[in-house]
Amino acid sequence: MITGNKGEWSEIYTLFKLLGDKQLFLGNKEIEKLEGIVYPILRVLRTENNHDFEYSIQDKIILISGGDEVLKIQISEFKQKAKVLLEKIKENKGRAFSVPEIERFMQSINCISLKAGSTAKTDITIVVHDQITNQQPTLGFSIKSQLGSPSTLLNPGKTTNFIFKIAGEIDNSEVETINSMVIKRGKKNSIDLKRRVKSILAKGCELNFFKNERLIFSNNLILIDSRLPEILSQIVYEFYSSNKSKITDLVENTSIRNPMNFDTSNEHRFYEYKIKRFLTDIALGMMPSKVWTGKYDATGGYLIVKENGDVFCYHIYNKNEFENYLFNNTKLETASTSKFDFGSVYEENGELFFKLNLQIRFIK
């Protein structure tokens, strides 16, 4: 029996939905249909147990090749199964669930797992007809579903810790007081991180960016933009020292403070532009723990599954819409302080430091 969560079942739903619709619709930054541009789908490529399968659209028939025989399935079958699966995903409350009717159909079309074999960022590969260039590019997409909990864009780790040096005097008793600040949640306590930051600042101290905890992440950022480690440290600082969490708000506040002293006399949007580049590279391939070469894994972009079942495409052909979608639909979030070792004042070589972590999640 195949079981999966809402996000995993959303990948199968996307496969059925696209084959039923026979075309990709583009979305705007509000995750609504961008009128006037569609991409007819020619083929969907999927890897199952080291075997490559091709779902080719031929008028009202889907030809499925790659197995022992070529299968012919009516497109109406995919439409109907997509509708059934969407309702099952919506109504299910559990973490992992099965859909026997859909599983039987999956097996009949050589689709035996929820997640296709793919690269780290690519969930589905599609060959489309680009009516503008008259080309047939093969595009890899990452699928993000709004049917379940919002997914992360940048997963946290010790790799995404930013180390700040505390400028100012704090004695040992004050350090102990700051490091003891917690929030009581029933029988458990959690670190009151924002209160700790505010307490450091209230003592007349400053948190000055020192370095990223891991050199690979730092160099990845520098590859994108030489000032990006410092810029991101200011975005992170803004999050933990204010009540803002949306990327748009954090970037706006940082732009007003202009800690990098950029020349804004001509209203250049330095911070917004550089953060959009960072979000795009994260979305399409860059991982904090691996050396980033600039080569995208998801060569197409993102497919967003909306709560009503619509599937919209954001891809690097339409760079502005893709960047605006990422910029307007993400926020910073506090990760586990104990798991990733941040949020406490510590001493090293006679100086005091404080680590803050970067995690980015989609708003919906």
Q: For residue range 141-159, what is the model confidence (pLDDT) as tens digits?
A: 889 999 988 989 999 999 9
337 vs 120: CA distance, rounded Å: 26
Q: What pTM was computed for the model?
A: 0.88
48 vs 112: CA distance, rounded Å: 7
Over residues 259-272, the mean pLDDT reads: 96
Neighbouring-strand partners of residue 33: 27
Over residues 170-180, the mean pLDDT reads: 94
Q: What is the pLDDT of residue 278?
A: 97
Residue 188 one-letter amino acid: K
Q: What is the pLDDT of residue 311?
A: 96
Label residue 364 by pLDDT band (50, 70, 90). Answer: confident
Helix axes 215-224, 228-240, angle to 10 degrees: 110
Torsion of CA 295, 297, 298, 300, to 10 degrees: 50
33 vs 362: CA distance, rounded Å: 19
Indicate the domain borders of the chain: 6-149, 154-293+317-362
From 11-15, 120-124, 140-144, 336-340, the region with the lowest mean pLDDT: 120-124
203 vs 128: CA distance, rounded Å: 59
Q: What share of the chain is helix, strand, coil (3-state, %, to 5)?
A: 35, 30, 35
154 vs 322: CA distance, rounded Å: 16
CB atoms within 10 A of CB 266: 5
Q: For residue range 19-76, what is the model confidence (pLDDT) as tens digits?
A: 999 999 999 999 999 888 889 999 999 887 777 889 999 989 999 998 778 999 999 9
Over residues 255-279, the mean pLDDT reads: 96
For residues 113 and 274, is the Cβ–Cβ distance under 8 A? no
For residues 27 and 306, is the Cβ–Cβ distance under 8 A? no
For residues 327 and 321, is the Cβ–Cβ distance under 8 A? no
At residue 35, φ and ψ (nearest 5 deg) are -70, 145
Neighbouring-strand partners of residue 27: 33
For residues 335 and 300, is the Cβ–Cβ distance under 8 A? no
Q: How far is CA 343 from the centre of its chain?
A: 24
Sign of torsion over alpha carbons 346, 347, 348, 354? positive
Q: What is the pLDDT of residue 51?
A: 79
55-76 burial, b for 16+ CB within 10 Å, e for fewer? bbbeeeebebebeeeebebebe
330 vs 333: CA distance, rounded Å: 10
From 27-41, 110-124, 156-170, 212-226, the region with the lowest mean pLDDT: 110-124
- Taking 90 as the threshold, does the pLDDT of residue 244 lie above it? yes
